Structure formats: C-alpha cells, structure tokens
C-alpha cells in the first residue's frame, strides 16, 4: 500500500506518551509504506552496548539519556523512508524539533487511564517508578501536551481500535496533512 509520490520519501516520526503504541503502530506503518522502521529507544540501547533503558537511566540519569536520544535522532533524520518511533520525552529538547520537522510528525494521543491500564505491570519504564504511577502519567502528559500538539497530525485513540486500524487511519490522513503543508509553503 505504498504511495511514494504522496510522502516523497520523507520520514514519519511518531510521538506521544509511553504506552501510546508508537512501536507497534510504527512497525505496521513501515510495512504498509514499505519504509524501514526505527525505534529510538532500541537504537539508544544498541549504542550503549545493548543496555536496557532502565539501566541507562539508573547509571547515567535522565539528562544523559536525553542527550543520547538527541544524538540518535540527529543520525536517524539523515535517512529517508523511515518510520521512527520516538521516546515519549523526545519533544522536551528544543533541538529535537529541528530534526522532527524534516519529516511528518504524528502524535498518538491516548487518554491517561488507557495508558495506565497498558503500563500498570510494566517495570521497564523508569519515569513510572513512582508511588503514584497514574498521577505521574497525568503530570507528564500535562507537561508535554503543548509540545505534542505541535505535531502535523494528531491521532486520538480510545482503545477500541486495533493497532492495524490505527495505522490505516494514519495512512488515510497523510494526504490532507501533505496537502496543507504544500499550501503553507
């Protein structure tokens, strides 16, 4: 289901909170677009000798993790025809928006309650190692929402759709985003 003329080879960057489905949906989008798929967290782990993200956070701290995240994004944006699943906090660094803007930015917007349900048993999320993980998710979303809202495309999901259906919804909405972008320039 590729449409090379539609995207002109530009990368698609998925942003949103942890648990939004960026990796799952990103893999499906890549398949449908005949693009390659990159998960920035996986790339960071690889750069760090295959250390888990939780270990990188524990040993180096969030500041160093964010630096690595920016470095990986800088490398990734040099390529074309990629679907890139980003970490939930990638939008916090202003310089990262310079990289993201080289492609189509898609925000997977999922309610906190659904994120919490998906992540309740997940011990691999360093920022959720909190006495009130749902409150932490709510706080993170409140902080990040103005940044996420700068995406080119917002896909709101409530949990009723399959990842495949969400991926298809993204693909269906790409033409309107591309058309609007061409009109602006």
Predicted confidence band of residue 1 (pLDDT cuts 50, 70, 90): very low
Residue 3 has pLDDT above 50, yes or no: no
Annotated binding-site residue numbers: 19-24, 41, 66, 88, 125, 144
| Cα 161 from chain centre | 18
pTM exceeds 0.75, yes or no: yes
Overall average pLDDT of the 155-182 stretch: 86
Tally Cβ neighbours within 10 Å of residue 49.
8
The 10s digit of each residue's pLDDT in 18-28 is 889 999 999 99
- How confident is the model at residue 115, as a pLDDT? 87
Compare 184 and 130 and report the one with higher pLDDT: 130
The 10s digit of each residue's pLDDT in 24-50 is 999 999 999 999 999 999 999 998 999
Mean of the per-residue pLDDT values for the chain?
A: 88
- Judge contact between 19 and 110, C-beta under 8 A: yes
Domains of the chain: 7-184 (3.40.50.300)
Annotated binding-site residue numbers for Mg(2+): 23
Annotated binding-site residue numbers for ATP: 19-24, 125
Residue 7 has pLDDT above 60, yes or no: yes
Compare 83 and 136 and report the one with higher pLDDT: 83
Distances (CA, A) of 71 to 22, 63, 65, 117: 20, 13, 10, 32
Q: What percent of the chain has pLDDT over 70?
A: 88
Compare 119 and 122 and report the one with higher pLDDT: 119
Annotated binding-site residue numbers for substrate: 41, 66, 88, 144
In 3D, which of 95, 73, 97 has the Cα closest to residue 84? 73
In 3D, which of 130, 42, 146, 128 has the Cα closest to residue 84? 42
Query: 178 CB contacts (<8 Å, ≥6 apart)?
Result: 6, 7, 104
């Amino acid at each position: 289901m590729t449409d090379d003329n539609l995207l002109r080879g530009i990368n698609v960057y998925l942003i949103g909170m942890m648990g939004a489905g960026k990796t799952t949906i990103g893999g499906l989008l890549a398949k449908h677009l005949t693009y390659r798929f990159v998960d920035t967290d996986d790339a960071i782990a690889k750069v760090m000798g295959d250390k888990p993200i939780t270990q990188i956070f524990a040993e180096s701290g969030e500041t160093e993790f964010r630096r690595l995240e920016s470095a990986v994004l800088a490398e990734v944006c040099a390529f074309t025809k990629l679907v890139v699943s980003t970490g939930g906090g990638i939008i916090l660094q202003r310089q990262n928006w310079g990289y993201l803007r080289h492609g189509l930015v898609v925000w997977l917007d999922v309610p906190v309650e659904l994120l919490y349900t998906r992540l309740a048993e997940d011990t691999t999320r360093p920022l959720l190692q909190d006495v009130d993980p749902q409150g932490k998710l709510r706080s993170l979303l409140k902080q990040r929402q103005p940044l996420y809202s700068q995406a080119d495309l917002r896909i709101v999901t409530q949990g009723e759709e399959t990842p495949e259906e969400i991926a298809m919804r993204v693909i269906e909405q790409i033409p309107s985003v591309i058309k609007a972008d061409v009109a602006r320039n």
